[in-house]
């Protein structure tokens, strides 16, 4: 029987590979040493934002934190699920904030591009401005409803059919301030998850 993947063991392994002690990683990731200890021991899985901070310090993408091995593309040529994502088979990415979820529109996060459908419930707002990539671009296309994209101190109001492109290094947030559900396609390169 295959052992269940343990994110904490992966973090500890990567930290040791970089010659870092736990206190240094916690400090650089701006998380508590206690939280890192809980993660590494497997007592908690941590929030997406906590894992993103750790990934940034370890100089990897969030997706790389969840993979066990390298992918061999040539061995998977006959495996449709390696290339195609059927609408009813999308992988879901959930967050502690239940008013926000994502559907993965590519088979995995191992390529050079991240493609997601982001779904925001009505009045899904946040006070945090975050950046999430070292370089590259993010492009968001509104499928349904309305979103407000804040880049630094500038706000952009987008409706169905509108698109925005920006550098994901700019601190930003995307909100649904309306009474209706909103969905948008998010394309990010390089991958940030």
Hey, where are the domains in the chain?
7-65, 75-189
Instruction: Please say whether the structural domain 75-189 has been given the CATH code 2.60.120.10.
Output: yes
118 close to 126: Cβ distance less than 8 angstroms: no
pLDDT at 71 over 50: no
Query: Cα separation of 193 and 181, whole Å?
Result: 23
pLDDT for 70:
45
Query: Cα separation of 128 and 115, whole Å?
Result: 22
Residue (of 88, 85, 74, 89) closest to 115 by Cα position: 85
Percent of the chain past pLDDT 90, that is, above it, reads 38
**Tens of pLDDT, residues 135-165:** 789 999 999 999 999 999 999 999 999 999 9
**Tens of pLDDT, residues 97-118:** 778 888 889 887 777 888 999 9
CATH for 7-65 is 1.10.260.40
pLDDT grade for 127, boundaries at 50, 70 and 90: confident
Mean local confidence (pLDDT), 65-74: 55
152 contacts: CB under 8 Å, gap ≥ 6: 129, 170, 171, 172
Query: Cα separation of 8 and 180, whole Å?
Result: 38
pTM: 0.66
- Tell whether the torsion through CA atoms of 98, 3, 86 and 61 is positive or negative: positive
pLDDT at 74 over 70: no
What the block records as the tokens of 8 is 């904490």
């Amino acid at each position: 029987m295959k052992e269940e993947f343990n994110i904490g063991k992966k973090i500890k392994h990567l930290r040791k590979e970089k010659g870092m002690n736990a206190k240094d990683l916690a400090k650089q990731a701006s998380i508590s040493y206690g939280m890192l200890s809980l993660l590494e021991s497997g007592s908690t899985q941590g929030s997406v934002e906590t894992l993103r901070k750790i990934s940034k310090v370890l100089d990897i993408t969030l997706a790389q934190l969840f993979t066990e091995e390298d992918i061999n593309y040539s061995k998977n040529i006959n495996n449709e699920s390696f290339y195609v994502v059927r609408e009813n088979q999308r992988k879901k990415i959930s967050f502690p904030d239940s008013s926000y979820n994502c559907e993965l529109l590519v088979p995995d996060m191992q390529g050079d591009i991240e493609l997601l459908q982001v779904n925001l419930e009505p009045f899904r707002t946040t006070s945090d401005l975050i950046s999430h990539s070292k370089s590259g671009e993010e492009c968001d296309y509104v499928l349904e409803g309305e979103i407000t994209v804040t880049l630094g101190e500038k706000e952009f109001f987008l409706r169905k059919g509108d698109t925005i492109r920006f550098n994901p290094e700019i601190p930003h947030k995307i909100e649904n301030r309306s009474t209706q559900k909103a969905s948008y396609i998010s394309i990010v390169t390089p991958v940030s998850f």
